[in-house]
Amino acid sequence: MKIIYAIVSSDDGTRVTDVLNEHHFSVTRLATTGGFLKKGNSTLMVGTDDDKVDEAIELIKDTCGKRQKITCNVPAPNIGSISAGYMMMPMTVELGGATIFVTDVERFEKI
């Protein structure tokens, strides 16, 4: 038995959970935060048989499309100004997709 940890965007979390459930995968969804944008993520825990891991990963991959967004999160010095403040520089970042870890389950009990 394996457990899949899939870290997805909060925007994708519900949709991925629904798709996995439709294909008879049990999913536990945790609200998490992290990464460069400091935005909310969903960490999905999917327990499954070894032979179903690739199917689950394909479903996650097909559901979590990558997209681009322009954001102003990075402070840059306000060059040429006498103020000591900072201005925000716009930059394009890639969102979506998933970060996936697969680990062995040493023991599983449902009580």
pLDDT tens-digit readout, 23-77: 999 999 999 987 666 778 999 999 999 999 999 999 999 998 777 777 776 555 5
Which residues make beta-bridge pairs with 48?
Answer: 2
Domain 2-104, what fold? Answer: Alpha-Beta Plaits (3.30.70)
CB-based contacts of 71, cutoff 8 Å, min separation 6: 37, 90, 91, 92, 93
Kindly list the domain boundaries of the chain, sorted by start residue: 2-104
With residue 104 as reference, give the H or E element that holds it.
strand 98-104
pLDDT in tens, 79-92: 555 555 556 777 77
Nearest to 42 by CA among 96, 109, 107: 96
